[in-house]
A and B are shown apart, each in its own frame.
Chain A
Amino acid sequence: MLELKNVYFTVQEREENSGGLRNIIDGINFTFEDGKFYAITGPNGSGKTTLAKLIMGVNPVSQGAIIFKGQDISAWTITERAKAGIAYSFQQPARFKGITFRDLLTVATGIEDENKLLEILSRVGICPLSFLDKEVDAKLSGGEIKKIELAITIAANPKLAIYDEPDTGIDLWTIGPMVSLLKKELAENHTTTIVVSHNRAFLEAADVVMIINSGKVVYSGNLEGALPLLDDLSVCTYRDSCEGDRDAGCYR
Chain B
Amino acid sequence: MNAPLTAADGEPLKKKLAREQRLKQFKAVALVAPLALFLLLTFLVPITSLLFRSVDNPEVVTALPRTSQLIRDWDQRGLPSDVVFAALAEDLVKAKAEGTLADVTKRLNMEISGYRSLLMRTARKMPLQLAAGESVRDHFIQIDERWGDPDHWHAIARNAESWSPYYLYRSLDLRETKSGTPVLAPQEERAYLSIFGRTMWMSLWVTVFCMLLGYPVAYWLANLPKRQSNLLMILVLLPFWTSVLVRVAAWIVLLQSEGLINSGLMALGIVDQPLQLAFNRVGVYIAMVHILLPFVILPSYSVMKSIPPSYVKAAISLGDHPFAAFWKIYFPQTLPGVAAGALLVFIMCLGYYITPALLGSPEDQMVSYYVAFYTNVTINWGMAAALGSLLLVATLALYTVYSKLVGTDRLSLG
A and B from one complex:
no
> What is the interface of chain A, defined by CB distance below 8 A to chain B?
none
